[in-house]
Structure 1
Amino acid sequence: MLAEISIKNFAIIEAISLSFEKGLTVITGETGAGKSIIIDAIGLLVGGRGSSEFVRYGEKKAEIEGLFLIDEAHPCHDKLRTLGIESDEEMIVLRRDISSNGKSVCRINGKLVTLGILREVGRSLIDIHGQHEHQELMQAEQHLSLLDRFGEKEIQPAFQEYQKVYVQFQKLMGQVNKLTEDDQQMAHRLDLIQYQLDEIQKANLEPNEDEVLLDEKTKLANYEKLFAAIRDSYHALYGDNKGLDWIGHAMGHLEEVSEMDSSLKKAYDGVSNSFYVLEEAMFALRDYYDQLEFDPNRLDFIEARLNEINMLKRKYGESVEQILEYAAAIEDEIDQLQNRDHHVEKMQAELKSITLDLTVEAKNLTTLRKKVAQQLTASILEELKQLYMEKTTFNISIELEEGKINRDPVIDGTAVHFKKDGIDQVEFLISTNPGEPLKSLSKVASGGELSRIMLALKSIFSVHQKITSIIFDEVDTGVSGRVAQAMAEKIYRLSNDSQVFCITHLPQVAAMADTHLYIAKQHTEDGRTSTKVTALEKNEKIKEIGRMISGVEITELTKQHANELLNLAADIKSTS
């Protein structure tokens, strides 16, 4: 659950810090008071799209920080471990700063992360549902993912097996298509890569040749400096009254006296070791000095060779190794193009075998989806019945994604297009009135009906998603009366398993709240506008619910109605 949130310099919020409890938290207030701003801040905290417009006017940055309490078994812990982020067994802290220039800084448990990582972790903690999701629900392409999410335990293993074969299928299809392109295009390609291979082979490159040549070039270019340094170093060590001669004298004297005083043995050993190390270094310098020679022709050759290698790098790779790898790859491609018919025949035979395997996996996936679709249909109808849509007919259509003849494989006499998520087209169909045919959601459902359908889906999926917190941003739009009461009860039941936040204009929903927050605008001493959040006590709840019932004027009768709503809610909550 979201335990605490701190918001600073965000929109019209100057600075607020809120603590939340489990259960249902309802947020109410006048239109424009800033109710949705709180939800916007939470959305940004869990990876929503940011903008400099969110930063309070005149401030350098907006700051949002949230503390989440989760149990040890929550999947978020596994995500954090894979990302290398340490996590307390029960706490996760998310933080996001948005500067006035639009840049964003994200942290999880104090560690800097990308916005993508923040979003990935945030999705496992909070599910924010607003009016825009009504539009997503009406998009048929979203329905397949909803179905798979509902039947994840059954579908996911089959889906993974399908994807393994699909990757092989796609790779082989690409190779076959490449080899069966236009003959003229293939001839041009063959000429090009044959020229490239000849150019690389003519250069007779050796692995790491450029690095070896660069080292040698450095030596030759600095010959005089090297010569003088080695010569002077050697003569400083070797010869009468030179370095090694004096150290040898010291070693002889110390050897003699160390027999008289054992405490000098350590000094003798140190000087002795130094003598032999320096002597070995002196011999190495002498050998290097004897071999050192300057060949201007060799330097010219190296520079020319490096220029040749750099020219090849600009064309074929950033290093000699990459150039040689490219040469090997195009050599294989040349073989395939020159023996195209043989390779195509071989690949098509292999493709036929993989297509058969992919078809088996796709059919298995379709069978499981049809089974899960029946379960989801039954669950949705039961939820809709509780929301006074008992006469609604709901069905999940699963059809083959038809492909193009002579291009896509044929299954049961039909050309089928294989996609990364299978061969199925899934669409939710509904009829809200008896006798009417099933149609797409976008063609049938009203705003109030969509609100109920989405709430039904949330009620079902909240069990499967293991989300710690759910946020409803005015999802009760377009409903009233007994439907509003039914929605209020269903939202409350959701809060038994997940922490729920709800922005609402319905008094029935507000009455079911465990915690009721009231949002209001206030004017500061400097004439600025800011948002104030107040947790309401019972008498204040009665007044606010009365305002939601009647509007501006609150009478004693309105207060009685508000009190009745609260008492009714208390009775319902005691039996839930």
Structure 2
Amino acid sequence: MLMELSIRNFAIIDHITISFDEGLTVLTGETGAGKSIIIDAIGQLIGGRGSVDFVRHGSKRAEIEGIFSISRTHEINQLFHDLGVEKDEEDTVLLKREITKQGKSICRINGKLVTLATLRQIGQMMVDIHGQHEHQQLLQGDKHIFMLDRFAGEEVESAKKEYQVLYESFIKKRDKLKQLTENEQDIIQRLDLIQYQFNEIEQAKLDPGEDKELLEEKKKLDHGEDLYKTVLNTYQALYGENRGLEWTMVAMNQIEEAAAVDENLTPYKETITNCYYLLEEVAFSLRDYYENIEFDPERIEQINYRLSEINQLKRKYGGSVNEILERSSKLEEEIDTLKNRDERLNQWVKELEGIAKDLLIEGSHLTELRKKEANRLKEEIQKELQSLYMKDTEFEVNFDMKSIDIDDLTNVNKRLNINQQGMHDVSFMVATNKGEPLKPLAKIASGGEISRMILALKTIFSDHEGVMSLIFDEVDTGVSGRVAQRIAEKIHYISVGSQVLCITHLPQVAAMADTHLFISKGQAEDRVTTAVHALEQDEKIEEISRMISGVEVTELTRQHAKELLEQAKKMKEINV
């Protein structure tokens, strides 16, 4: 969850720091005080599209920091591991984003510089911001199949993994068949090209690692004279009159005499003796080495010519001799395939038929499981809509079949209806009034209907989305009365055991808050400033009274506010 948010030089905000807790936190205040700006700042913190307009006038940059507490079991931990981001001992993560007045973004996760795309990938797994006119995941049709699968649980996920293994195999085999069924002239041209490439590599008669060996040999030949001198000097330092070996022999003989008197010196005698014979062996080896050093300009020329030939092949076929040889092997395999095209085609058609048959079986099984779970989801959604006074609303999970036609490619003579996620696309469809046709969820027109539908879906999916903090930005717009009360209860229900931040103008929602933050604006040095204040009980009563009356707070509105808070307290005890 989001534990603390720090905003500096962002829009009209000079500098504020806000602490957050679990449960439902509401933000209220007069229009223009900066409530939505705080949500905008969180949006930037999780990778939203930046703008120089966010930088406070007269400042060089805007800065937003957020400290998040992450459960050790949350799936985001794997992503942190893959990115090399470490959490501290308290399992907290610090996100930071700076936006300069030139429009550049600097993003960090626990101090590690990351791209904006990475910040967005992390941020959207931690926070979901829903505004009334924003199409978040629940309004994006291509996300519905993933939501259904997450709702369904392990059985569907397991069936989907088995299906996708077959799907990948099918696509690879189909693509190979495409290559084999191209235009005859294209096949001939392709065969001529790769045959030429293969012959060119073969004629070079490359040996694995040859380039490295030649470079090493060239290095020795290029520095032969210097190498001869240094190795000779090393040998002469060891071997000869009054040189290293002679003095080591003197030491060996002397220590032998001493060890004959005192056995405690025996280990030293053995060490010096071993060193003498090792040095003697090294000296003889060095003598053989420098005596065999060659000064061969002709050999250097041969090596240079061979390396030039290899480098030309590298530019065409790979960065090393081993890569070139791997390319040759693949070319040889492709040549064999094209020369025996008809035979291979028949073989692969049969293989594709077998994969297609298995894929249809797995795809049908996956669809059956999803449809069963879709019915369960429909029942739960309908219950939620009933409780939100939308008894005439119909909800359906639509399965739309997609297809890949493989008739012309393989002579299988059938259509295989598949996509990467299964045999169907999934979308949520809604009809909000009797007699109306079902329409995609994103096309619901009424703001109040959107609010209630989103809350119904959020209530169902709150345990399945994996998002740690959920933010509603005036999602309760367009409702009032008993619907407003029910929306307040739903928002609090979603917040139980998690974290929900909500900007609201409804007193019913404010009364349900576990934490009530009042956002106000003032002036300092002729500049507008924003302040955040956590309200105590008496202050909550005054603020809710203001929300009820709009202008003048009376004893009657205060009494109404107290009743709302008391009613909310009882309702929260039931939810818990």
Normalised by the length of structure 2, the TM-score is: 0.90
Q: Distance in 1 between matches of 2:565 and 2:478?
A: 22
> Aligned ranges for residues 215-226 of structure 1 at < 5 Å?
215-226=216-227
Offset at residue 443 of structure 1 (A) = 4.7
* Partners of 1:2 and 1:69 within 8 A in 2: no
Q: Distance in 1 between matches of 2:30 and 2:513?
A: 18
Offset at residue 39 of structure 1 (A) = 2.6
In structure 2, the gaps of 5 or more residues are none
* Partners of 1:45 and 1:66 within 8 A in 2: no
Assess, with a 3 A threshold, how the Cα gap between structure 1 residues 155 and 209 changes in structure 2: closer, same or farther.
Answer: same
Assess, with a 3 A threshold, how the Cα gap between structure 1 residues 529 and 408 changes in structure 2: closer, same or farther.
Answer: farther
Q: Distance in 2 between matches of 1:89 and 1:362?
A: 45
1:139-171 per-residue CA deviation (whole Å, 9 max, x = no partner) reads 533332332232133321111111010010010
Please identify, of 390-399 and 179-188, the stretch whose mean Cα deviation from structure 2 is larger: 390-399
Q: Distance in 1 between matches of 2:43 and 2:491?
A: 20
Q: 2:106 aligns with which of 104, 107, 113?
A: 104
Give 2:458's aligned residue.
Answer: 458
SS at match of 1:472: strand
Give 2:16's aligned residue.
Answer: 16
> Aligned ranges for residues 439-454 of structure 1 at < 5 Å?
439-454=439-454
* Partners of 1:134 and 1:450 within 8 A in 2: no
SS at match of 1:197: helix
Q: Distance in 1 between matches of 2:495 and 2:387?
A: 17
* Partners of 1:50 and 1:98 within 8 A in 2: no
* Partners of 1:26 and 1:516 within 8 A in 2: yes
* Partners of 1:316 and 1:323 within 8 A in 2: yes
Offset at residue 270 of structure 1 (A) = 4.5
Q: Distance in 1 between matches of 2:255 and 2:89?
A: 65
Assess, with a 3 A threshold, how the Cα gap between structure 1 residues 235 and 369 changes in structure 2: closer, same or farther.
Answer: same
* Partners of 2:95 and 2:108 within 8 A in 1: yes
Assess, with a 3 A threshold, how the Cα gap between structure 1 residues 89 and 463 changes in structure 2: closer, same or farther.
Answer: farther
Offset at residue 558 of structure 1 (A) = 4.0
Q: Distance in 2 between matches of 1:256 and 1:575?
A: 98
Assess, with a 3 A threshold, how the Cα gap between structure 1 residues 89 and 377 changes in structure 2: closer, same or farther.
Answer: farther
> Aligned ranges for residues 283-294 of structure 1 at < 5 Å?
283-294=284-295
Offset at residue 277 of structure 1 (A) = 2.5
Offset at residue 242 of structure 1 (A) = 2.4
Q: Distance in 2 between matches of 1:467 and 1:140?
A: 19
Please identify, of 159-168 and 459-468, the stretch whose mean Cα deviation from structure 2 is larger: 459-468
Q: Distance in 1 between matches of 2:143 and 2:411?
A: 26
* Partners of 1:44 and 1:96 within 8 A in 2: no
SS at match of 1:150: helix
> Aligned ranges for residues 106-255 of structure 1 at < 5 Å?
106-108=108-110, 119=120, 121-134=122-135, 137-255=138-256
> Aligned ranges for residues 394-433 of structure 1 at < 5 Å?
394-404=395-405, 406=407, 415-433=415-433
Give 1:64's aligned residue.
Answer: 65
Q: Distance in 2 between matches of 1:425 and 1:159?
A: 13
* Partners of 1:77 and 1:87 within 8 A in 2: no
SS at match of 1:259: helix
Give 1:356's aligned residue.
Answer: 357
* Partners of 1:47 and 1:115 within 8 A in 2: yes
Q: Distance in 2 between matches of 1:367 and 1:187?
A: 46
Please identify, of 389-398 and 81-90, the stretch whose mean Cα deviation from structure 2 is larger: 81-90
Assess, with a 3 A threshold, how the Cα gap between structure 1 residues 469 and 97 changes in structure 2: closer, same or farther.
Answer: closer
SS at match of 1:313: helix
State yes or no: 1:437 paired with 2:437: yes
Q: Distance in 2 between matches of 1:103 and 1:442?
A: 31
Letter in 1 for 2:193: L
Offset at residue 136 of structure 1 (A) = 5.5
Give 1:505's aligned residue.
Answer: 505
Please identify, of 561-570 and 445-454, the stretch whose mean Cα deviation from structure 2 is larger: 561-570
* Partners of 1:394 and 1:430 within 8 A in 2: yes
> Over aligned residues, Cα RMSD in angstroms?
2.9
Give 1:376's aligned residue.
Answer: 377
Assess, with a 3 A threshold, how the Cα gap between structure 1 residues 393 and 199 changes in structure 2: closer, same or farther.
Answer: same
State yes or no: 1:4 paired with 2:4: yes
Q: Distance in 2 between matches of 1:353 and 1:22?
A: 53
SS at match of 1:465: coil
Offset at residue 496 of structure 1 (A) = 2.1
1:388-446 per-residue CA deviation (whole Å, 9 max, x = no partner) reads 101112222223224548359999x9834421111213232222222333333455542
Assess, with a 3 A threshold, how the Cα gap between structure 1 residues 414 and 181 changes in structure 2: closer, same or farther.
Answer: closer
Offset at residue 306 of structure 1 (A) = 0.3
* Partners of 1:143 and 1:426 within 8 A in 2: yes
Normalised by the length of structure 1, the TM-score is: 0.90
* Partners of 1:9 and 1:61 within 8 A in 2: yes
Letter in 1 for 2:27: I
Offset at residue 314 of structure 1 (A) = 0.5
Q: Distance in 1 between matches of 2:75 and 2:228?
A: 66
Give 1:25's aligned residue.
Answer: 25
Assess, with a 3 A threshold, how the Cα gap between structure 1 residues 239 and 417 changes in structure 2: closer, same or farther.
Answer: same
Assess, with a 3 A threshold, how the Cα gap between structure 1 residues 266 and 10 changes in structure 2: closer, same or farther.
Answer: farther
Offset at residue 261 of structure 1 (A) = 4.8
Letter in 1 for 2:536: E
Assess, with a 3 A threshold, how the Cα gap between structure 1 residues 242 and 62 changes in structure 2: closer, same or farther.
Answer: same
Q: Distance in 2 between matches of 1:264 and 1:502?
A: 85
Q: Distance in 2 between matches of 1:7 and 1:263?
A: 75
Letter in 2 for 1:68: S
* Partners of 1:61 and 1:99 within 8 A in 2: yes
Assess, with a 3 A threshold, how the Cα gap between structure 1 residues 120 and 233 changes in structure 2: closer, same or farther.
Answer: same
* Partners of 2:11 and 2:37 within 8 A in 1: yes
* Partners of 1:410 and 1:416 within 8 A in 2: no
Give 1:536's aligned residue.
Answer: 535
> Aligned ranges for residues 302-313 of structure 1 at < 5 Å?
302-313=303-314
State yes or no: 1:572 paired with 2:565: no
* Partners of 1:50 and 1:104 within 8 A in 2: no
Q: Distance in 2 between matches of 1:558 and 1:285?
A: 103
Q: Distance in 1 between matches of 2:96 and 2:442?
A: 37
Give 1:318's aligned residue.
Answer: 319
> What is the count of residue pairs matched by the alignment?
572
Q: Distance in 2 between matches of 1:405 and 1:169?
A: 11
Assess, with a 3 A threshold, how the Cα gap between structure 1 residues 25 and 215 changes in structure 2: closer, same or farther.
Answer: same
* Partners of 1:317 and 1:326 within 8 A in 2: yes
Please identify, of 386-395 and 116-125, the stretch whose mean Cα deviation from structure 2 is larger: 116-125
Q: Distance in 1 between matches of 2:52 and 2:204?
A: 55
Letter in 2 for 1:33: A
1:288-309 per-residue CA deviation (whole Å, 9 max, x = no partner) reads 0221121111100000000000
* Partners of 1:7 and 1:41 within 8 A in 2: yes
* Partners of 2:9 and 2:59 within 8 A in 1: no
Letter in 2 for 1:470: L
Offset at residue 230 of structure 1 (A) = 1.8
Assess, with a 3 A threshold, how the Cα gap between structure 1 residues 410 and 436 changes in structure 2: closer, same or farther.
Answer: farther
Assess, with a 3 A threshold, how the Cα gap between structure 1 residues 410 and 448 changes in structure 2: closer, same or farther.
Answer: farther
* Partners of 1:106 and 1:115 within 8 A in 2: no
In structure 1, the gaps of 5 or more residues are none
1:223-245 per-residue CA deviation (whole Å, 9 max, x = no partner) reads 11111112222222222222222
Assess, with a 3 A threshold, how the Cα gap between structure 1 residues 44 and 202 changes in structure 2: closer, same or farther.
Answer: same
Assess, with a 3 A threshold, how the Cα gap between structure 1 residues 90 and 460 changes in structure 2: closer, same or farther.
Answer: farther
Letter in 1 for 2:153: E
* Partners of 2:206 and 2:321 within 8 A in 1: yes
Offset at residue 529 of structure 1 (A) = 3.7
Q: Distance in 2 between matches of 1:316 and 1:225?
A: 37
* Partners of 2:105 and 2:116 within 8 A in 1: no
1:297-339 per-residue CA deviation (whole Å, 9 max, x = no partner) reads 1100000000000010000000000000000001100111111
Letter in 1 for 2:226: K
Q: Distance in 1 between matches of 2:136 and 2:97?
A: 30
Letter in 1 for 2:385: L
Letter in 2 for 1:214: L
* Partners of 1:46 and 1:94 within 8 A in 2: no
SS at match of 1:475: coil
Q: Distance in 2 between matches of 1:217 and 1:507?
A: 85
Q: Distance in 2 between matches of 1:323 and 1:422?
A: 40
